[in-house]
Chain A
Amino acid sequence: MTLRVTRRQFFKLGAAGMATSSMAMMGFAPEPTVASIRHFKLTGAKITRSNCTYCSVGCGVLIYSRGDAAINNIDDIYHIEGDPDHPVSRGSLCPKGSGLLDYIRSESRLRYPMVREPGSDEWQRITWDDALSRIARHMKDDRDANFVTENQAGHTVNHWTTTGFLAASASSNETAYLTHKMVRSLGMVAFDNQARV
């Protein structure tokens, strides 16, 4: 619903306006008007250089956070804008990059490991140790049961086809490299990332 001021409001508020402005004419000068300018919100912020991880332009971003990374402080990101030094983006950002703050602070961010048991209709919180141990157990059970060392022709294949892995093309090279190293060491072949689609 648009809030346009219609003539109704114009008339209704007429006298109030008259009164206030007339007060000024009679010598009641307003408070200093510089207060209309907001406090500059980047003052004292910690600035971290980063890259937007949406599309493949790789725009430079400056992340502004409160806190100076001192041991007693948990830094809190409160603003992101473009890095003017970046040769491609030169400070600009698209609507996604301009809204990065709301991604980092989204209500949908996951905070704790969770499990959904078979047939259940709800998530349950679980510790990291339980989650990782249960996952490792599942993997080993399946790998031991279904790992193929030789195919029917008697060729060595050493592959594991019954557990698959989708990697993330928004993750870093370092995450990707470690993922690949681990996945292949297990003999997995059903392995792709978004580049496949």
Chain B
Amino acid sequence: MTNHWVDIRNADLILAMGGNPAEAHPVGFRWVMEAKEKNDARLVVVDPRFTRTAAVADYFAEIRTGTDIAFLGGLVNYLIETDRIHHDYVREYTDASLIVGEAFGFEDGLFTGYDETEGKYETDSWNYDYDDEGNALRDPTLQHPRCVFQLMREHYSRYTLDVVSSVCGTPRDKLQRVWEMAGETAVPGRTMTILYALGWTQHSIGSQIIRTAAIIQLLLGNMGMRGGGVNALRGHSNIQGLTDLGLLSDQLPGYLTLPDDDEQAYDDYILERARPPLVPDEVSYWRHYERFHVSLMKAWYGNSATAENDWCYDWLPKLSEKLYDILHTFERMSHGEITGYFCQGFNPLAAFPHKAKVTASLSRLKYLVVIDPLRTETAEFWKNHGEYNDVDPAGIGTEVFRLPTSSFAEEDGSIVNSSRWLQWFWRAAPPPGEARPDTAILAGIFLRLQRLYREEGGAFPDPVLNLHWPYRHPEEPSPEELAREYNGWALEDIVDEERNVICRAGEQVEDYGMLRADGGTACGCWIFAGCWTEDGNQMARRDNSDPYGTGQTLGWAWSWPVNRRILYNRASARPDGTPWAENKAVVWWNGQRWVGTDVPDFPVDSDPTAQLGPFLMNQTGRGQLFARDRLAEGPFPEHYEPFETPIASNPLHPHNPLAKHNPGARVFEQDRENFGTFEEFPHAATSYRLTEHFHYWTMHNRLNAIAQPEKFVEIGESLANELGIEKGDRVRVSSKRGHIDAVAVVTKRIRPLQVAGQTVHQVGIPLHWGFLGETKKSHLTNTLTPSVGDANTQTPEYKSFLVRVDKL
């Protein structure tokens, strides 16, 4: 979230789209209800189904799954053409005024630079025009035909009411109404917050849907504002923390990244990431990349990391693939190219798409290690559970280890919620039986490996033998030690520009501003610097006072970065430093420094006359309407159909088959063969969570099993009538990849949509229940889902695929 849970109450309009917060985040949703009651806010829900969120909404609009870019692109068009944009904000705080090079273009669904054989883009042409000093050219009047604003206007001029209605299946009057309500927040005293979740990420165009939302919030001037922002409601309790700590194939902690294999020289690696400003004098904070990187390497490799060996640069693995994401890994696993696999609190048999492929892949492993507090389907993928997991154990040669771990209630530690708050929790009781904390399990494996390398030698042992392991009890590093390590500490006295010592050797650093690129500091995750300082564990703070009454509670836990609660909050004030509106003020310039209700997201002594942009991490200092070279499928979001679509072509580009689906997406051959067609599987399906359950955990809990005991699918009354299905009937839902059986919930809450001249029915498939636990046994929902991902993140397209429904 750019903002935070409680801040939702400061909004005037809440757009819940690509998420169902009442269902998935009921307690966070409280602040939507508070906004309605205390701030007279309106809640608008856009969703394929009338959801639990819709049940308390002021306005509901149905949409065909996977068409959000069309819906939002239409909104961009509406805002520009009806002049409902925050002009000063757009001019001063976004890149609308920057001039784009002549080489950039867009034609019939494809941007310039597309390589048809490779199925990807060369992004060189997606760039600004620069002067001789490397600064982007600007036209503050926004009239230049090649400025970002005019190009964007042209791009979205195709997204008219009729076109959008035809793509989305949303009735025209509903589109119009939602767009109008959003447009009303273009004035300074009103803000819209956008709440989304996996309903946006789990599409082959997921990243670009979110981009479109960001564009809208920039046009409306809603970023950095109280009650504004683009707010990702993350799925798991610490998925934010694991993202922050970089536990992803191409990442390092703190959004640092692993080198590609062509980045052989350390200096090139740093230079590529320590990007300079593109507009004169801007902060472009990633300039300091090397400080964070070197501090990380000192935390990991201690004295072994020296300037002479480029801080152990070659000890980091380099990437030969763009991503070794899970779809890529299971593709390789299915070909027998993976030997071993660890599942630590992760249940891929249930959670990954195309279960049959996952089963076949796991069966080819030599060894599988499952570390979990609970029984999981993955750990028992080899076991025959009748029709629900029909395998022959004798034919599966995988050696499987199942290691019991403690639950949250049985250990100390911290988790990062969606608001970016690091919250410390305490152990209440010992774990059951012989279960151990994960840290002890990992250390147990690692210390054994270290011993084997010490005794036997082996492949590239240096990083294994020299990993910094300073823990008092090496077999079980304590949460306190690990938290202090990722906060960071000084290895020598750290001095400021006036040679004053600001942090003595051995002391915890106060913030990432103290980190050094010369090896003087160690820090495991630079954005967490400040969470455990010389003043102790800041994550354990429990002062919930709220002096400004804005819900910031700066004394509760600790929020990254530097305890800041609303990102980009400098943008809540005008260029001259006064708030755009008193009721939306977050920080302001008091004549000497930036002050306010939050930790300013700005150099605190930077006088407004210096005119620095508020988006410090960007090279332009501005919010990016134009994404330059960062996204796989283009600088402006464009609608493409899901890989399994219920219509014959992309209505925006009916004659260009290359622009039917995301042209930048990666599809493996066996997965492409497993796509179904709408002739055979005519209904658009989407999968989702229910509030009574959490994935495949709570089916093990009696109380939750009672509340929702058996697998069901949701079918609209109209489709049910067509198929002769009544409430409570058992039905079979099939995709090209398999079938599941479930009870039919026949509902008025899913209505047929008119899409591109045809009727489209949508089918809702909750993802809970499996063949273990207290609930009734069932097939796993991901038997049905396709193995294709977003072109940037490779997040699978769980939200849009094709099925057929048959009465049993």
* A touching B, CB within 8 angstroms: yes
Q: What is the interface of chain A, defined by CB distance below 8 A to chain B?
A: 46, 48-60, 63, 65, 67, 74-77, 80, 85-90, 92-104, 106-121, 123, 126, 128, 131-140, 142-147, 149, 151, 153, 155-197
Q: Is the CB of A102 within 8 A of B702?
A: yes
B415 at the interface (CB under 8 A from A): yes
Bits for B409-432, please: 1 = Cβ < 8 Å to A, else 0: 111111111110111011111101
Distance A112 CA – B434 CA, assembled complex (angstroms): 5
Contact B318 A157 (CB under 8 A): yes
A56 touches B239 (CB 8 A): yes
CB pair A115–B404 under 8 Å, yes or no, is: no
B695-729 CB contact bits vs A (8 Å, 1 = yes)?
00110111110010000000000000000000000
In Å, the complex CA distance between A176 and B693 comes to: 24
19 contacts between A and B (CB under 8 A): A48-B409, A49-B426, A53-B237, A56-B239, A56-B417, A63-B409, A74-B429, A87-B544, A108-B375, A115-B402, A161-B337, A164-B338, A167-B346, A170-B345, A175-B437, A177-B525, A190-B249, A190-B338, A195-B243
Count of A-B contacts judged by CB separation below 8 Å: 484
B445 touches A50 (CB 8 A): no
Contact B430 A77 (CB under 8 A): no
Q: A104-B407, A180-B247 are in contact. Are A131 and B401 (CB under 8 A)?
A: yes
Does B672 count as interface, using CB distance less than 8 angstroms? no
Q: What separation, in Å, do the CA atoms of A181 and B418 have in the docked complex?
A: 24
Specify which of B340, B432, B693, B703 is in contact with A109 (CB 8 Å cutoff): B432
Name the segment of B92-100, B153-161, B165-173, B458-466 touching the other chain: B458-466
Convert B532-567 into 0s and 1s, putting 1 for each residue whose CB lies closer than 8 angstroms to a CB of A: 000000000010101000010100100000000000
Alpha-carbon distance A123/B375, docked complex (angstroms): 12
- Taking CB atoms, residues of chain A closer than 8 Å to B443 are 178
Contact in complex: A128, B707 (CB < 8 Å): no
B439 at interface (Cβ–Cβ under 8 A)? yes
With a CB–CB cut-off of 8 A, which chain A residues contact B437?
Answer: 175
Residues of chain A with a CB closer than 8 A to B511's CB:
none
Contact with A along B506-544 (1 / 0, CB 8 A): 000000000000000000110010000000000000101
Inter-subunit contact B314/A96 (CB<8 Å):
no
Contact of B423 among A58, A93, A110, A189 (CB under 8 A): A58
CB contacts (< 8 Å) of A86 on chain B: these are 544, 556
Q: Give Cα distance in the complex from A127 to B419, angstroms.
A: 41
B399 touches A118 (CB 8 A): yes
A50, A52, A155, A194: which contacts B242 (Cβ < 8 A)?
A194
Q: Does the CB pair B439–A178 fall under 8 Å?
A: yes
User: Chain B CB within 10 Å — which of A48, A101, A160, A166 has the most?
Assistant: A166
CB contacts under 8 Å to A, within B661-712, are 691-694, 697-698, 700-704, 707
**Contact (Cβ within 8 A) A48 B426:** yes
Judge if B341 is at the interface, Cβ distance under 8 Å: yes
- Which one of A60, A90, A182, A189 has the greatest number of beta carbons of chain B within 10 Å? A189
Residue from B247, B333, B384 in contact with A192 in the complex, judged by beta carbons closer than 8 Å: B247
Contacts of A93 in B (CB 8 A): 27
**Distance of A141 Cα from B46 Cα, bound (Å):** 52
A104 to B560, CA, bound (A): 30
Q: With both chains docked as a complex, state the minimum distance between the C-beta of A61 and any C-beta of chain B, in angstroms.
A: 8
Q: Are A191 and B249 in contact (CB under 8 A)?
A: yes
Contact call A137/B452, Cβ cutoff below 8 A = yes
Q: Smallest CB-CB separation from A110: which chain B residue? A: B404
Among B218-226, B322-330, B639-647, the stretch that binds chain A is B322-330
| Cβ A196 vs Cβ B793 within 8 A | yes
User: In the complex, what residues of B have CB within 8 A of residue A76's CB?
Assistant: 429
Given that A98-B703, A192-B247 are contacting pairs, would A197 and B415 also be in contact in the complex, using a CB cutoff of 8 Å? no
Indicate if the CB atoms of A166 and B348 lie closer than 8 Å. Answer: yes
In the complex, are the beta carbons of B429 and A106 less than 8 A apart? no
Q: A87-B553, A176-B242, A197-B795 are in contact. Are A115 and B399 (CB under 8 A)?
A: yes
* Residues A179 and B314 in contact in the complex (CB < 8 Å), given A121-B393, A151-B261, A190-B329: no
Are B433's CB and A142's CB within 8 A? no
Partner of A136, one of B421, B448, B693: B448
Q: Give the residue of B27, B402, B546 whose beta carbon is less than 8 angstroms from that of A92.
A: B27
Interface residues in B469-495 (C-beta closer than 8 Å to A): 477, 479, 482-483, 485-486
